[in-house]
Amino acid sequence: QKIVYLQDYKPSDYLIPKTEMWVDFSPERTQITTDLHIERRAGVEAGTPLELDGEQVELVSIAIGDDVLGAGQYELSENGLKLLDPPQSFVLSTVVEVAPEKNKSLEGLYRSSGNWCTQCEAEGFRRITYFIDRPDVMSVFTVKMVADKDLAPVLLSNGNPMDKGEMSNNRHFALWHDPHPKPCYLFAMVAGKLDKISEKFTTKSGKNVDLNIYAEPGKAELCRYAMDALVRSMKWDEERFGCEYDLDVFNIVAVSDFNAGAMENKGLNIFNDKYVLADPATATDQDYALIERIIAHEYFHNYTGNRVTCRDWFQLCLKEGLTVFRDQEFSSDERFRDVERIDDVKGLRQSQFVEDSGPLAHPPRPSQYEQIDNFYTSTVYEKGAEVVRMLMTLLGKQTFHEGVDLYLDRHDGEAATIEQFIKCFEDVSGRDLSQFQKWYTQAGRPRVSYSTSYAAEQKLFTLVLKQEVPPTPGDDEKSPLVLPIRFGLVSNNGEDLTWEHAEGAEVQDDLIVTNEDEVTVTFHGVSSAPVVSLFRGFSAPVTLDTKASLEEDLHRARLDSDPFNRWESLQSAIMNIVAPAMDVDGPELDIELLEPVAVALSQTLDSQNLSPAFKALCLKLPTYQDYTQRLGQNIDPDRIKTVRQKVSEVVADKLRGQLVTLYSTLHLPDDYQPNAEQSGMRDLRNQALSLLATLKEGQLFELVERHYREARNMTDRQAALAIMCANAPDRAVELLDDFKRNYTEAMTVYDKWLGLNASIDDAQTIDRIKRLMDDDRFSLETPNRVYALFGAFTQGNPTQFARADGAGFELIADVILQIDQFNPQVAGRFAVAFRIWKNYESKRREAARAALERIKQSEKISPNLSEMVNKTLG
C-alpha cells in the first residue's frame, strides 16, 4: 500500500479559485457538469501536468473552454485524470455521471431513505466529480441543482440560496452560492423529500440568520431539542470565542444512513439522525446530552475547521482537537463543569488510553498514514482536545483566548498547520512552546510517579516528580513533555495549605509546570503535613504510576476541594484493593479491605454539598476497561467479571439501606426535562438500583421490572432493561420482547433494543446476535444498525466477545469481512475491536490472532481494512 508522509508535503501546482456545478438528479444516475476555473500557481513551470482526483465517476465529456478534448490530450485512470500540458489559466468543463443508488460506501453522493445526500470528508468529493481533492485547494462554489419536483422538493447546498424556479417536465431548480472559499471536503448537497422546523437567529452585530433543521417526513418535530441546542451554541460561540455566524442561512439535515456522527459542511451540516432526533419517549438523557454536544461541535467547526481549515490531513487534529475542546467547554458551561470533566476523562481513558497503549498508537499529529479515514481516532479528537486544554492551563484563560483570537484572525480563509497554531500562542504569551509542541508529535503518554516528604521543624514539604514516556510501536526514543500540574496541599481538615515560597520548578498559585524527567519541588512555610493532590481536574493526560496509600486516597476522596480528584481517589482506592485479585495468578479478593471504601461512598451519598450527578458518578464502580488497563497483560475477562461482581455485591450489601432509601425517596418533577439537574437525579436513582440489583435477589428484580413498567421516559426504561440484562439474563429476554413489541417503532429505539440484546452476558448471546441479523429491520448496510448491535457486543460485552473458544472473535471477523465488501470505512472502524488482542491470556490471544489472520488472508479486502489489520497484528 501507498504510504503518505507529512514530510513530502508540497503545495498544489494548480489552484481552483472558482467552481461552478450543475447537478441533475434522476432516479438512475446523477449527471454533474462542472466548470473548474484553474490557475497554475505562480512559479510553477509551464508544461507541469495537472492531476485531478476522481474515483467511481464516469467521464462523459471534457473540454477546455469551447474545445472538446480528445483522447491523447488527457490520461484517465481509476484514480483520476491527468492533463498533460494545461494552459496557465483556463476553464476546464467536465461532465460526469455517478450512480448514487448503488453507492453503499456512504462516501460521495449516495441515497438514504430515497433522499440524495453527500459525505465528502476526507476524500469523498472525488467520487462526485474530478477535482484537486486536498484541503489546501480552496474554491468558491456555485451550484445549480435540478430534480423532479415530487422526488426532490427540497434542494440544498452550501452557502446562501440565490435563486429557484420551475422547469419543464415537472422539474425545478435551486441555485446556491457560497461566498467563502472552501476545500471540497466541506462541499455538500441534499435533494429529497424532507420536513423541517425553522427558527430565526440574530447575531451579535444584528445580522438575521434563518435556521432550519430537516428530517425525513414525519420526524421534524423530533428536531426541537437539536434546534434549541443550535441556538445556544451560536450564542455561546459569540460570547466565549467571539465567533459570529457568517451566512444568511444555516441548515442541518438529519439522514438515517451515515458513517460518522455528523459533518460540518459549510452552512449545510449533515447529521446522522441519531444525533438529532429526540423526544422523552425515545431518547435518554445521555442521548440528549450527545445531541447537544454534536450539534455544538459541528456548528463550532464553522470557525475552527471551515474559516480556518487544515493544510493537509496530517493536521486533522488542528480542527478536531480544538473543536472537541470547544464542545467540551460548551457542555461544561451549559451543564455541571465537574461532572462533564469526569465524564470526558472517563471517555478518554476508555478509548484513547487503550489506543495509545496498543499497536495503533499514534501522535495527535501523525507523520504518515495509508488511509486517512482510519485516522479519525480518539487520539486525534480527544487527546487533541486535551492538548488544547493544557495550553489554556499553561497560559491562563485570558492569554489562551488571545491566542485563539489571533489564530482565527491571522489564518482566516487559510489552510493552516499545528506549527502556525502554536506560533499564535507563542506570540501572545512570549513563551517558547517548542517543547510543548511535542504533545502533538509524540505518541504515548507519560507515566508520572512521585514521592513526598515533610519536615515539620523546617515546615518544608518536598515533592519529587518523575516522568517517563514508554515506547510505542516504531518509536523507542521519547522525550519528556511539558506537564502543567494543577495541585493542592490538602490539610487535615480538607483546606488547601498555603506556602511562602516554592523552588525547583515553575510554581504559580495552584500550578506546577515541569518539563524534565525528574524534578524536586520544595515548598517552604507549609504549616502541617499535607496530602498532596496532583493533576487536579486531570490537568494533563498522563498515567499516575505511584499508587497512593489507602489513607491518602480516602483523605482526598472525603476532603479534596477538587471534585475531579475526589472522584478519582475513590476510584483509585477501589482499584488498588481489587486489581491484584484480577491477576491470573493473583490472590483472592480480601473483601474486608472494601469496608473503608464503602464508608467513604456512604458519606459521599449522604453529603449535602455534592450534586446528585456527582454522586451518581461515584456510585459507578471502576469499569471493566479500567481494570484491563491497570492489569495490562494476561487478561482473563471472566476473572475480571467475577471479581467485579463480587465487589459490587459487597458494596451494595453494605450500602443496602441507603440505596433503597435513595431509590424510593428521590423524587423527580413530573415534567421531564433533559437538563443537567434532572438528568443527574435520574442517573443517581438508576445507579442506586443498578448497584442493588447486583445482589441478584428476586425482590430486587421485581423492583427493576416495576421500574421498567412504570417508567415515564426512555432514560428510566432503558436503565431498567440494562440492569436486567446485566444481572438476570432470563428475565431480561422476556422484558426485551415486551420492549420490542411496544416501544421500538422509532429506529433509534430499535437500535437500543439491538444493543441491549447484544450486551447480555450469557452463552446464548452469539446465537441471539446471529438471529437478530436476520430480523426484518436489521441491515448491515445501515451503519447505525451495525454500531448498535456489534458496538454493544465488542465494547459492552467483553466476556462474550472475548470468549475463550474464539466464537466472539470469529463472529466479528465474519461481519467485518461482509461489510468491507461495500463499506470499507465502517469495516476499518470495527477492526479496532481487536486492538487489545495481545493483552489477553494466551488462549484468547491465539483465538484473536487467528481471526485477524483470517481477515488478513481473505481475498479482496479494502485498503482501509488491510491497514487496520496489518497494524493491529503488528
786 binds, options ligand B3K, Zn ion, none, Cβ within 5 to 8 A by partner type: none
Q: Choose between 352 and 611: whose C-beta lies nearer to ligand B3K.
A: 352
334 catalytic residue (yes or no): no
Sheet (strand 74-77) strand order: 50-53, 80-83, 74-77
Contact mark string toward Zn ion, 320..349, x via CB under 5 A: x--x--------------------------
Say how far apart CA 96 and CA 79 lie, in whole Å: 14
Least gap, CB of 503 to ligand B3K (angstroms): 44
Q: From the list ligand B3K, Zn ion, none, which binds 373 (C-beta under 5 to 8 Å, kind-based)?
A: ligand B3K
The whole-angstrom separation of Cα 314 and Cα 135 is 11
What sign has the CA pseudo-torsion 217, 222, 223, 224? positive
The nearest distance, CB 304 to Zn ion, in angstroms, is 9
The three-class DSSP label of residue 563 is helix
Smallest distance from ligand B3K to CB 323, Å: 7
Contacted by 345, from Zn ion, ligand B3K, none: CB < 5 to 8 Å by type:
none
**Closest CA relative to residue 52, chosen from 70, 88, 77:** 77
Q: Three-state DSSP class for 21?
A: strand
Amino acid identity of 258?
F
Q: Contact 506/487 with Cβ under 8 angstroms?
A: no
Taken in order 732, 840, 871, 849, the sign of the CA dihedral is negative
Q: Of 297-305, 498-506, 573-581, 600-608, which segment contacts ligand B3K by CB under 6 A? A: 297-305
Considering the rule CB under 6 A, would residue 123 count as an interface residue with ligand B3K? no
CB closer to ligand B3K, 312 vs 373: 373
| 405 and 242 Cβ atoms separated by less than 8 Å | yes
Nearer CB in complex with ligand B3K: 376/822: 376
Identity of the residue, 93 or 323, whose beta carbon is nearer to Zn ion in the bound complex: 323
In the complex, the smallest distance separating the C-beta of residue 381 from ligand B3K, rounded to whole angstroms, is 7
Question: Which span sits near ligand B3K by CB under 6 A: 295-303, 327-335, 755-763, 801-809?
Answer: 295-303
Tell me the closest approach of the beta carbon of residue 271 to ligand B3K, in angstroms: 10
**20, 107, 216, 298: the active-site residue:** 298
DSSP state string for 533-552: EESTT--S--EE-SPPPHHH
Name which of residues 416 to 455 contact ligand B3K (CB under 6 A): none
Distances (CA, A) of 418 to 285, 313, 317, 407, 506: 36, 11, 8, 11, 26
Go through 348-363 and write b for each residue having 16 or more CB atoms within 10 A of its CB, e for each that does not. Answer: bbbbbbbbbbbbbbbb
Q: Which residues contact 842 (CB under 8 A, 6 or more apart)?
A: none
Q: Tell me which residues in 334-393 interact with ligand B3K (CB under 6 A).
A: 373, 376
Binds 121, which of ligand B3K, Zn ion, none (CB < 5 to 8 A, cut-off by type)? ligand B3K
Distance CA 50, CA 638 (A): 58
| CA atoms of 138 and 856, how far apart (whole Å) | 38
Q: How far is the CB of 26 from ligand B3K (least distance, A)?
A: 28
Q: Which does 340 bind (CB under 5 to 8 A by kind): Zn ion, ligand B3K, none?
A: none
- The SS3 of residue 873 is helix
Of the residues 133, 178, 216, 264, which one makes contact with ligand B3K according to CB under 6 A? 264
Q: Which stretch binds ligand B3K (CB under 6 A): 243-251, 294-302, 700-708, 774-782?
A: 294-302
Question: What is d(CA 405, CA 796) in angstroms, rounded to the nearest whole number?
Answer: 41
Residue in 53, 121, 636, 867 binding ligand B3K, rule: CB under 6 A: 121
* Residue number closest to ligand B3K, CB atom: 260
Smallest distance, Å, CB 484 to Zn ion? 25
Torsions phi, psi for 714 (to 5 deg): -70, -25
Report how many residues bind ligand B3K under the rule CB under 6 A: 12
String of contacts with ligand B3K for each residue 234-263, x by CB under 6 A:
--------------------------x-xx
- By the 8 A CB rule, do 543 and 573 touch? no
Please answer whether residues 299 and 269 qualify as being in contact, where contact means their C-beta atoms are separated by less than 8 angstroms: yes
Q: Beta-carbon neighbour count of residue 399 at 10 Å?
A: 16
Look up residue 308 and give its DSSP letter.
B
Least separation in angstroms between CB 323 and Zn ion? 5
Q: Which does residue 329 bind out of Zn ion, ligand B3K, none, counting CB within 5 to 8 angstroms by kind?
A: none
Indicate the residue among 212 and 864 with the shorter CB distance to ligand B3K. Answer: 864
**Do residues 349 and 629 lie in contact, with contact meaning Cβ atoms separated by under 8 Å?**
yes
Q: Which among 268-276, 317-325, 655-663, 783-791 is the span making contact with Zn ion, rule CB under 5 A?
A: 317-325
Count of residues touching Zn ion (by CB under 5 A): 2
Is 526 strand, coil or helix?
Answer: coil
Choices 296-304, 360-368, 489-497, 681-689 (CB under 6 A): range interacting with ligand B3K: 296-304
Cell of 52: 485531478
Q: Which of helix, strand or coil describes residue 285? A: helix
At closest approach, how far in Å is the CB of 368 from ligand B3K?
A: 18
- H/E run at residue 164: strand 160-166
**129/304 with CB nearer ligand B3K:** 304
Q: Checking phi first, is residue 829 left (phi over 0); if not, alpha (psi -120 to 50) or beta?
A: alpha
Please report whether residue 283 would count as binding ligand B3K according to CB under 6 A.
no
Task: Decide if residue 122 touches ligand B3K (CB under 6 A).
Answer: yes
Identify the three-state secondary structure at position 210. Answer: strand
Cβ at position 199, least distance to ligand B3K in Å = 22
According to DSSP, the residues that pair with 5 across neighbouring strands are 368
- Closest approach of Cβ 554 to Zn ion, in Å? 40
**Spatial distance between the Cα atoms of 311 and 498, rounded to a whole number of angstroms:** 47
- Grid cell at residue 566: 475526589
Which positions ≥6 away from 219 have C-beta within 8 Å?
195, 254, 273, 277
State the nearest-atom distance from the C-beta of 128 to ligand B3K, in Å.
15
Residue 212 grid cell: 432550519
Residues 529 to 568: which contact ligand B3K by CB under 6 A?
none
Contact 679, 285 (CB under 8 A): yes
Q: Select the span of 241-249, 319-327, 416-424, 687-695 touching Zn ion (CB under 5 A).
A: 319-327
Closer CB to Zn ion, residue 122 or residue 848? 122
Interface mask toward ligand B3K for 772-811; x: CB under 6 A: ----------------------------------------
* Choices 125-133, 287-295, 313-321, 432-440; region in contact with Zn ion by CB under 5 A: 313-321
Name which of ligand B3K, Zn ion, none residue 9 binds, using a CB cut-off of 5 to 8 Å depending on partner kind: none
Taking the least distance from each CB to ligand B3K, the nearer of 245 and 743 is 245
Q: Starting from the edge strand earliest in sequence, which strands make up the sheet with 543-544, in order?
A: 501-503, 518-524, 460-468, 447-455, 543-544
Q: Is 298 among the residues that bind ligand B3K (CB under 6 A)?
A: yes
Q: In the complex with Zn ion, which residue's Cβ is closer, 319 or 630? A: 319
CB of 272 to Zn ion, least distance (A): 13
Whole-angstrom CA distances from 447 to 353, 518, 572 are 12, 12, 16
Per-residue x/- track, 311-330, ligand B3K (CB under 6 A):
---------x----------
Q: Which is nearer to ligand B3K, 297 or 630 (CB)?
A: 297
Q: State which residue, 261 or 473, has the beta carbon closest to Zn ion.
A: 261
- Rounded CA-CA distance 543/356 in Å is 12
Strand partners, 110: 117
Q: Which sequence positions are flagged as catalytic?
A: 298
State the residues that interact with ligand B3K by CB under 6 A. Answer: 121-122, 260, 262-264, 297-298, 301, 320, 373, 376
State the residues that interact with Zn ion by CB under 5 A. Answer: 320, 323
